[in-house]
Amino acid sequence: MKFIVSSTYLLKQLQVLGGIINSNNTLPILDNFLFDLDGSTLNVSASDLETTIIAKLNVESSEKGSVCVPARLLLDTLKTFPEQPLTFTVEDNNTIEISSNHGKYALAYADGQDFPSAIELTDTSTTVLIGDVLSNAISKTIFASGNDDLRPVMSGVFFQFTTDSLTFVATDAHKLVKYTREDLAANEAAEFIMPKKPLNLIKSILAGSEEEVTIAYNEANAKFSFENIELVCRLIDGKYPNYEAVIPKENPNKLTIDRNQLLNSVRRVSIFSNKTTHQIRLKIAGAELNISAEDIDYSNKAEERLTCDYQGDDMQIGFNSRFLSEMLSNLNASEVSLEMSLPNRAGILTPVDGLDEGEHITMLVMPVMLNS
């Protein structure tokens, strides 16, 4: 088989696919890209067994065939070429030869039949979204998902589709984010848990994209199709925890403050906090918010005073500064509100502005016990 393709076009597509390849694969064949040529269409696949991503490329050819090409070697070679046509030819001596304007390069290839084939989905439901909307939903939630292998359901993002809205939830039991779009809906109700790795890939490919994304899903797998790319992945098996039950409904104490001001203050003060607990103390009285942290072992301490808008009883509450700053930096609002009931109940962080029509974000952060 033989085909001609632009070097930069090929590199751009392969870099997207390369994101799925593990650095240490149990199956050596997974260190390769599968090139499947059918006339002027070249389908390139990469897989880690859980997720397979396939890109459809236009090339100059009238032949058929499939080979597996070493991914790392090919990517490293393509990165060094300026824009030019490259000719790929499969030779009889089990090598694939790349001819450029200045030279020839031979790579050993493996048989295309050895590459694991992507899962075919049956009995699927589908939902269509705009790429940027999906990318935004993922980036607003994925940082809150957990890394605990003992609780795999919490290591992904929960997609909850209804005929009224689309909801995306992530939690690691210390923090929780619920992102809802009431301006979008599915044809029928569905729930599934997406693993983090394919979501990170989708998020980076689709950021800013106006293209439509078709999500097809059944009990075990999901398929995302957009532009010239298809991504098929295995869903996380299990039942997602009842997240609605942990969101406190009655929160009489409400603090409204400039997001940037609060974020910078939390970041500064947290430098002086205990390196294990990252604990900071919020003391609210009247229109004043006092943020402090202390590391008794090293006699480090810091304290800042901010003016805020506060309705409620005077209170003191402790938070893990890392969770708080992570949440604040994932919001685009200029002002945020923090609603609380008691020092041992979760605080609810929501943006006051900066959202589109029909877009809602609720962030929940668990407090830490204050050692008075």
Verify that 91 and 36 share a domain, yes or no.
yes
Same domain, 175 and 133: yes
Average pLDDT of the residues in 131-158: 95
Q: Which domain holds residue 26?
A: 2-114
Q: What is the mean pLDDT of residues 3-30?
A: 96
Instruction: Tell me: do 55 and 141 sit in the same domain.
Output: no
236 with 321, same domain: the answer is: no
pLDDT-based confidence at residue 372 (cuts at 50, 70, 90): low
Please indicate, yes or no, if residue 26 is contained in any of the structural domains.
Answer: yes
Domain boundary (79, 114, 149) is at 114
Domain closes at, from 91, 114, 137: 114
For the segment 19-29, the average pLDDT, to the nearest whole number, is 94
Is residue 21 in a domain? yes
Is 22 in contact with 34 (CB distance < 8 Å)?
no
pLDDT number for residue 149: 86
What is the count of structural domains for the chain? 3
Q: For residue range 214-240, what is the model confidence (pLDDT) as tens digits?
A: 999 999 999 999 999 999 999 999 999
User: Cβ(182)–Cβ(166) under 8 Å?
Assistant: no
214 within some domain: no
User: What percentage of the chain carries pLDDT values higher than 90?
Assistant: 97
pLDDT value of position 34: 98
Asked if 149 and 92 sit in the same domain, the reply is no
Q: Let me know whether 257 and 236 are in one domain.
A: no
Decide: pTM greater than 0.75. Answer: yes
Sorted by sequence, the CB contacts under 8 Å of residue 279 that are 6+ apart come out as 273, 293, 318, 319, 320, 321, 368, 370
Do both 362 and 272 map to the same domain?
Answer: yes
pLDDT of residue 370: 84
pLDDT in tens, 160-217: 999 999 999 999 999 999 999 999 999 999 999 999 999 999 999 999 999 999 999 9
Q: Is residue 219 part of a domain?
A: no
Of 167, 170, 168, 169, the C-alpha closest to 148 is 170
* Count of CB atoms situated within 10 Å of the CB of 347: 23
Tell me: do 313 and 331 sit in the same domain. Answer: yes
Q: What value does the mean pLDDT take over residues 362-367?
A: 97
CA 66 to the chain's CA centroid: 32
On whether both 165 and 256 belong to a single domain, the answer is no
With respect to residue 223, please indicate whether it lies within any of the assigned structural domains.
Answer: no
Contact 20, 51 (CB under 8 A): yes
Per-residue pLDDT tens for 307-334? 999 999 999 999 999 999 999 999 999 9
**CA-CA distances (angstroms) from residue 352 to 167, 282, 330, 349, 359?**
19, 20, 14, 10, 12
CA 215 from centre of chain: 16
Is 225 among the domain residues? no
**Which position has the token pair 């990165």?**
79
The residue count for the chain:
372
Task: Confirm if 292 and 270 have CB atoms less than 8 A apart.
Answer: no
Query: What is the SS3 assignment for 278?
Result: coil
The pLDDT of residue 220 is: 95
Q: What is the 3-state secondary structure (H, E, C) of 44-109?
A: EEEECCCEEEEEEEECECCCEEEEEEEHHHHHHHHHCCCCCEEEEEECCCCEEEEECCCCEEEEEC
Together in a domain, 203 and 108: no
- What percent of the chain is modeled with pLDDT above 70? 100
Mean pLDDT (whole number) for 244-261: 95
Residue 137 in domain: yes
Taking the CB of residue 143, how many other CB atoms lie within 10 A of it?
16
Tell me, yes or no, whether 264 and 358 share the same domain. yes
Q: Where are the alpha helices (DSSP H) in 126-258?
A: 131-141, 196-206
Q: Say which residue the tokens 């890209």 belong to.
A: 33
Q: Which amino acid does the sequence have at 80?
A: T
Quick: pLDDT tens for 81-106. 999 999 999 999 999 999 999 999 99
What is the pLDDT of the chain when averaged over all its residues?
96
pLDDT digits (tens, 9 = 90+) for 111-144: 999 999 999 999 999 999 999 999 999 999 999 9
User: The domain spanning residue 102 has which CATH number?
Assistant: 3.10.150.10
Give the pLDDT score at 332: 93
| 60: in domain | yes
> 179 and 268: one domain?
no
Show which of 221, 244, 267 is a domain's final residue.
244
